[in-house]
Amino acid sequence: MANILRSQSWFDSREYYSFARRSTLRAQGLTRGITEGKPVIGICNTASDLNPCNRHLTQIAEAVKRGVWAAGGFPAEFPVISLGEMFLKPTAMLYRNLMSMDVEEMIRANPIDAVVLLGGCDKTIPALLMGAASANVPAIVVPGGPMLSGTFRGAALGSGTDGRKHFDMYRAGQLNDGDMEELECSIARSQGHCMVMGTASSMALIAEALGMTLPDAAAWPAVDARRFAIAEASGTRAVAMATTGPTPAQVMTPDAFHNAITALMAAGASTNAVVHLLAIAGRLGVPLTLDDFEAVSNRSPLLLDLKPHGRFLMEDFAYAGGAATLLQILLPLLKPNAITIGGNTLGDQLAQHRAHPQQVIRALDNPLDADGGIKVLRGNLAPDGALIKTSAASPALQNTRGRAIVFDSKDDMLAKVNDESFDVQPDSVLVLRNAGPHGAPGFPEWGHMPLPKSLMARGVTDVVRISDARMSGTSFGTVVLHISPESAIGGPLAAVRDGDQIELNVPDRRLTLHVPADQIEARLASRNQPTPHYTRGYGKLFLDHVEQAHLGCDFDFLKAK
């Protein structure tokens, strides 16, 4: 049965303010026929000149509006905070929760019957989903889409992934300033977000696997006509959802999270997506822990041959059938009865998808790897967990033991890795601390420490790196991340000293500091508590309420009771 429109309580009562609100619509030249009784479809737009990945969403919003008008709704575009990964300091992650609060409150406070969420760059889709989950008004995501594939001297270039590889060649003197200028233009050819399976692509895929987008929404390039067609269709669908739902809580169920994690593992997607999924689930009261990721990872094969671990780029993924084809292949491992925003089940939706032969998405019986690309580590260095993206790590370094070299800050680390006389061995373990939610602050992507120049000169291409930071989804290497609890609040990472032996054992999922427990305790007891980075404003709110990585880094007061 259709629900009464939420917006009626703003416009349809006999009180003064309904009259006054209607008159403000008349002030724009809108006639009663165009507004009266129509579902109001909010278009929550993260377009911003300060967020190049999302700048084109203004054009996407126009396509959504067409769909809303055509279906008999009234579109109302509104801005929210936008988080540009490249520009924001100290890190966009510091502001994810702030953006989610903006989204939640603007949906709840306005006469919105359903909302279309426009996002792209890394933190924007997570914050949109978190806010929409808390507001629980019918919502549909339209991802902004990736950039077109980069290309440089005949080779495919993936943003982040190949940028870092070529920058290391520049650091090693193999490329000059002119080469880098050519690369700068070759790697980013169009509007859109990073076009490897980084965090933005991962979150678009996850939104589709959660059932929060129309089918086939994740992969089309930002500038592809089909991206605009999906936006238009999403506007049309939102009009129906205004009266019939489903709401985000009805879509994002435990089954939907199972499907999203399965897609994440099969894609070898970003470790950042783990933190974001934990946070979204927390908003809905869906119980989700790192153990759920580990369990799904153990039975989900790696199927997607995309950079940073594979050969192809998001444009190739789109032409190969995109998320719909990946999910169709994964169907035996999914919960097919999960409801989608289309109103049908994921299983029904996928039954209508037509796949065709391609080489980007492997079959279940021909995977790139037998299990998922992200593993959860535990041990005396990470009592609450840590992550490693094995699909992007060197197999030879996944069961190793070496001497710790500790950096207390990013500046310290950068100075050492760029020092050609830095004393480091191929089996050393680089340790960065004070890089978590409290320590950095804001949980930045410092975990992918650049290779030391002194190792690069010896032809070494990877080294074990561990930290309480995150890393970009576009990064690669044997990098242990998200160590929880973090060092700044007294996690055991704070006890490591230069020369300690650290063992990384991915097959057993262990991360061990080979120092006796009483010595670790004594070292932690004697440490100085770092001075808080903020004493006022949003920064203080963040430090007072942010949770640790294994809980999703949301604010404690924003989680569902």
What residues line the site for ligand FES (CB under 6 A)? Answer: 53, 85-86, 121-122, 193-194, 198, 200
Give least dist CB 147 to ligand FES, A.
9
For 462, counting Cβ atoms within 10 Å of its Cβ (0-12 exposed, 13-18 middle, 19+ buried), the class is middle
Q: Which is nearer to ligand FES, 83 or 381 (CB)?
A: 83
Number of neighbours of residue 89 by Cβ within 10 angstroms? 8
| Closest to 145 (Cα-Cα) out of 53, 254, 40, 33 | 53
Q: Which is nearer to ligand FES, 83 or 130 (CB)?
A: 83
C-alpha–C-alpha distance, residues 64 and 70, integer Å: 10
Q: Which is nearer to ligand FES, 202 or 548 (CB)?
A: 202
Q: Which two tokens stand for residue 139?
A: 């919502």
Helix orientation angle between 124-135 and 96-109, rounded to the nearest 10 degrees: 40
Give least dist CB 444 to ligand FES, A.
14
> Which stretches does DSSP call E strand in 111-240?
114-119, 139-143, 150-152, 155-157
Q: Which is nearer to ligand FES, 53 or 493 (CB)?
A: 53
| Closest to 417 (Cα-Cα) out of 388, 445, 450 | 450
Q: Which is nearer to ligand FES, 198 or 442 (CB)?
A: 198
Q: What is the largest CA-CA distance in the chain?
A: 79
Q: Which is nearer to ligand FES, 55 or 482 (CB)?
A: 55
Give least dist CB 547 to ligand FES, A.
24
Q: Which is nearer to ligand FES, 152 or 422 (CB)?
A: 152
- Sheet architecture: strand order including 139-143: 74-79, 40-45, 114-119, 139-143
Q: Which is nearer to ligand FES, 86 or 517 (CB)?
A: 86
Give least dist CB 86 to ligand FES, A.
5
Give least dist CB 129 to ligand FES, A.
16
Give least dist CB 112 to ligand FES, A.
27
Give least dist CB 338 to ligand FES, A.
27
Evaluate whether 283 touches 130 at the Cβ level (below 8 Å).
Answer: yes
Give least dist CB 98 to ligand FES, A.
18
Phi and psi (nearest 5°) for 359? -125, 10
Stated as kind and residue range, the H or E segment containing 310 is: none
Return the residue matching tokens 């995109």.
Answer: 322
